Amino acid sequence: AMDFNYFPNPATNELHIVASEAIEEVVVRNQQGQRVFGMKGTGAVAAAEVDDLPAGVYYLEVKTARGTKVRLFVKQ
């Protein structure tokens, strides 16, 4: 199954994502489920710019050809 790691958590300006396969899309959603960040993947590694997001807890969605996984992260 597809899996991914991400760091740092809590994040301040950039969230680095390393997946077990090529990333198609990265989406960050707030606690209301609204999309607040999105980017297309460029391989199995991505960097999401989160410096503009207000502090709080967010959902990190990583989509690949084999599905989507969601994890929580904290923006400081």
Q: What is the pLDDT of residues 34-49, one digit of tens each?
A: 999 999 998 999 999 9
Tracing tokens 């991400």 back to the chain, one arrives at 6
21 closest CA partner among 55, 63, 72, 51: 63
- Count Cβ atoms within 10 A of the Cβ of residue 30 and give its class: 0-12 exposed, 13-18 middle, 19 or more buried: middle
Residue count (the chain): 76
Task: Please answer whether residues 60 and 23 qualify as being in contact, where contact means their C-beta atoms are separated by less than 8 angstroms.
Answer: no
Q: What is the pLDDT along the chain (76 residues), one digit of tens a residue?
A: 899 999 999 999 999 999 999 999 999 999 999 999 999 998 999 999 999 999 999 999 999 999 999 999 999 9
pTM for the predicted model, two decimal places:
0.94
